[in-house]
Amino acid sequence: MTMTRQDTDTLRALRGLEDSRSSVRLRAALAVGTLPDPRFVDKLIERCAVEPEFFVRDMLTWALTRHPVSLTLPGLLRAVRSERPQARSQALHTLSKIGDPQAWPAITRTLLSDADDEVARSAWRTATVLVPAGQEPALATVLATQLGRGEQETQLSLSQALVALGEVIVPALQAATTAPDPHVRAHALATQRLLRDPDAGFTLAIEAAKRAAALVGAPRTDDENRADR
pLDDT digits (tens, 9 = 90+) for 114-140: 999 999 999 999 999 999 999 999 999
d(CA 28, CA 19): 9
CA 117, 82, 122, 134 dihedral sign is negative
Asked whether the beta carbons of 57 and 23 are under 8 A apart, the reply is: no
Q: How many residues does the chain have?
A: 229
- What pLDDT, on a 0 to 100 scale, did the predictor assign at position 210? 65
More confident residue, 88 or 218: 88
Q: Is the pLDDT of residue 70 over 70?
A: yes
- Which superfamily is assigned to 8-100 in CATH? Leucine-rich Repeat Variant (1.25.10.10)
* CA dist 189 → 82, 128, 174, 177, 219 (Å): 35, 20, 8, 6, 20
| Interatomic CA distance for residues 164 and 195, integer angstroms | 9
CB 112 within 8 A of CB 124: yes
What one-letter code names the amino acid at 35?
A: L
Is residue 228 pLDDT above 60, yes or no?
no
Which residues of the chain form CATH 1.25.10.10? 8-100
pTM: predicted TM-score of the whole model, two decimal places: 0.85
